[in-house]
Structure 1
Amino acid sequence: MSTLTLSSVVAGCKEATALRVEVLKRSVPVQMVSKFRQQSGQKGVDFVPQPQLNDLFRVLQKSKSSSSTQSSPQADLVMIGDFWLNSAIQQQLIQPLDPKLWSQWSQLPPRWQNIVRRNSAGKFDSKGEIWAAPYRSGSTVIIYRVDKFKSLGWTPQDWSDLWRQELRHRISLPNQAREVIGLTLKKLGYSYNTADLSKVKNLESELRQLHQNVRLYDSNSYLKPLILGDTWLAVGWSTDISPEVQYQNGLAAVVPKSGTALWLDLWVKPAKVQASPPATLGDQWIDFCWSPQVAAQLSLLTGTTSPIILGMNPEELPQSLRENPLLFPQSSILEKSDFLQPLSQNSIKQYQQLWEKIRLGT
Structure 2
Amino acid sequence: MAAATAPLLPSRICFPLDPSCSHSQFQSPNLNPSFPLRRRSNHTHSLTLTLVSSAHTLTPPEPPPPTTSTTVPHTLLRFAASASLLLGIGLGCCCVASARSSPLPPPLPALQDQATDDDNLEAAFGTWKSKTFALTVPLTVAALRGSVPPSWIKDFMQSQGKRSKLQLKSHASLESVISDLSRDFDFSKGDVRPSSVAAADVVSIGDSWLSHAINKGLIEPIQGVEDQDWYKGLSDRWKVYLRRNSEGRIDPDGKIWAAPYRWGCMVIAYKKTKFRKHNLAPISDWADLWRPELAGRISMVDSSREVIGAVLKHMGTSYNTQDIHLQVDGGKDAVRQNLALLGKQVRLFDSVHYLKAFAVGDVWVAVGWSSDVLPVAKRMSDVAVIVPKSGTSIWADMWATPAVSRLETNRIGGRVRGPSPLIHQWIDFCLQTARALPFKQEVIPGASPSALDSASAENLEEFTKGKPRLDTNLIAGVPPPEILARCEFLEPLSDSTISDYQSLIDSMQKSKHGLVPSINCNILSLIQNLWLKLHSNNNKSLKQV
The CA deviation at 1:197 is: 3.6
Residue in structure 1 matched with residue 270 of structure 2 by the alignment:
144
The aligned residue for residue 213 of structure 2 is 88
Are positions 1:319 and 2:434 aligned together?
Answer: no
Distance 2:167 2:208 in 1: 25
Q: Which has the larger radius of gyration?
A: 2
Residues 75-131 of structure 1, C-alpha deviations (whole Å, 9 max, x = no match): 211211112222333334312333344324333232122211123332212233222
Instruction: Choose from 50, 64, 68 the match for 2:171.
Output: 50
Q: Offset at 1:313? A: 5.1
1:97 to 223, 236, 254: 223
Contact in 1 for aligned 2:221/2:256 (Cα 8 Å): no
For residue 131 of structure 1, the aligned residue among 257, 274, 289 is 257
Letter in 1 for 2:261: Y
Contact 1:140 1:260 in 2 (8 A): yes
Q: Structure 2 residue aligned with 1:229, among 340, 352, 361? A: 361
Paired residue secondary structure (1:301): coil
C-alpha separation in 2, matches of 1:268 and 1:59: 14
Matched, 1:239 2:374: no
Pair 320,244 (structure 1): closer, same or farther in 2 beyond 3 Å: farther
CA–CA distance in structure 2, aligned partners of residues 241 and 122 of structure 1 = 29
Aligned pair in 2 of structure 1 residues 162, 318: CA closer, same or farther (>3 Å)?
closer
Q: Which shows bigger deviation, 55-64 or 346-355?
A: 55-64
1:197 and 1:351 in contact (8 A); partners too = no
Instruction: Provide the C-alpha distance between the structure 2 equivalents of 1:16 and 1:127, rounded to a whole number of angstroms.
Output: 37
| Structure 1 runs of 4+ with >6 Å offset | 273-276
Within 2, Cα distance between the matches of 1:219 and 1:361? Answer: 15
Listed as ranges, the matches of 1:79-228 within 5 Å are: 79-92=204-217, 93-151=219-277, 152=279, 154-199=281-326, 200=328, 201=330, 202-228=334-360
Alpha carbons of structure 1 residues 183 and 326: separation in structure 2 relative to 1, 3 Å: farther
Show the counterpart of 1:305.
Answer: 447
Structure in which a larger fraction of residues adopt strand: 1
SS in 1 for 2:229: coil
Aligned to 1:282: 423
Query: Which segment drifts farther, 162-171 or 306-315?
Result: 306-315
1:352 is matched with which residue?
Answer: 502
Please report the RMSD computed on the Cα atoms of aligned residues, expressed in angstroms.
Answer: 3.1
CA distance in 2, matches of 1:219, 1:45: 32
Deviates more, 1:53-62 or 1:40-49: 53-62
Counterpart-to-counterpart distance in 2, 1:162 and 1:181? 13
How far 1:46 moved relative to its partner?
A: 0.7
Residue pair 2:137, 2:422 contacting (<8 A) in 1 also: no
Q: CA shift at 1:36, angstroms?
A: 0.4
Partner residue, 1:6: none
CA distance in 1, matches of 2:455, 2:511: 49
State the AA in 2 paired with 1:131: W
CA 1:173–1:26: 2 relative to 1, 3 Å: closer
Please give the alpha-carbon distance, in whole angstroms, between the structure 2 residues aligned to 1:286 and 1:119: 22
Contact (CA 8 Å) 1:86, 1:121: kept in 2 or not? yes
What corresponds to 1:292 in structure 2?
433
- Structure 2 SS opposite 1:143: strand
Secondary structure of 1:126's counterpart equals coil
C-alpha distance in structure 1 between counterparts of 2:247 and 2:454, whole Å = 33
- How far 1:68 sits from its partner (Å)? 6.2
The equivalent position to 2:485 in structure 1, one of 335, 338, 359, is: 335
Q: Report 1 or 2 for greater relative contact order, CA contacts < 8 Å, sequence distance ≥ 6.
A: 1
Partner of 2:140: 20
Question: CA contact under 8 A between 2:249 and 2:492: conserved in structure 1?
Answer: no
Task: Provide the rounded CA distance (Å) in 1 between the counterparts of 2:260 and 2:351.
Answer: 25
State the alpha-carbon separation in 2 of the partners of residues 118 and 275 from structure 1.
24
Query: What is the letter of the counterpart of residue 398 of structure 2?
Result: L
Equivalent residue, structure 1, for 2:152: 32
Which position in structure 1 is the counterpart of 2:194?
72
User: What amino acid is the match of 1:283?
Assistant: H
Residue pair 2:222, 2:256 contacting (<8 A) in 1 also: yes
Deviations 1:23-59 (A, max 9, x none): 1122212221011001111441111122221332245
Residue 345 of structure 1, CA deviation: 4.3
Which runs of no fewer than 5 residues in structure 2 stay unpaired?
1-134, 406-416, 466-472, 513-545
Cα pair 1:296 1:318 within 8 Å, conserved? no
- The alpha-carbon deviation at position 254 of structure 1 amounts to 0.6
**CA deviation string 1:108-167 (max 9, x = no partner):** 232122211123332212233222111111221111011233353521111011112322
Q: Is the 8 A contact 1:95 1:270 kept in 2?
A: no
Amino acid corresponding to residue 256 of structure 1 in structure 2: P
SS at match of 2:305: helix
Amino acid at match of 2:152: M
Counterpart CA distance in 2 for 1:177 and 1:127 is 29
Asked if 1:264 is matched to 2:396, the reply is yes
Q: CA deviation at 1:327?
A: 0.9
Q: 1:158 to 1:269 in 2, by over 3 A?
A: same
* Separation in 2, partners of 1:187, 1:58: 33
Q: Identical aligned pairs, as a percentage?
A: 37
> Are 1:173 and 1:235, in contact at CA under 8 Å, matched by a contact in 2?
yes
Residue range with higher mean Cα deviation, 258-267 or 200-209 = 200-209
2:157 alignment partner, SS class: helix
The equivalent residue for 1:7 is none
CA contact (8 A) 2:446 2:478 kept: no
The total of aligned residue pairs comes to 346
Whether the 8 Å contact between 1:97 and 1:269 is mirrored in structure 2 is no
1:12 equivalent in structure 2: none
Shift of 1:351: 1.9
Q: Secondary structure at the match of 1:28?
A: coil
Residues in 2 aligned to 1:116 and 1:204: alpha-carbon distance in whole angstroms: 31
What secondary structure does 1:189 align onto? coil
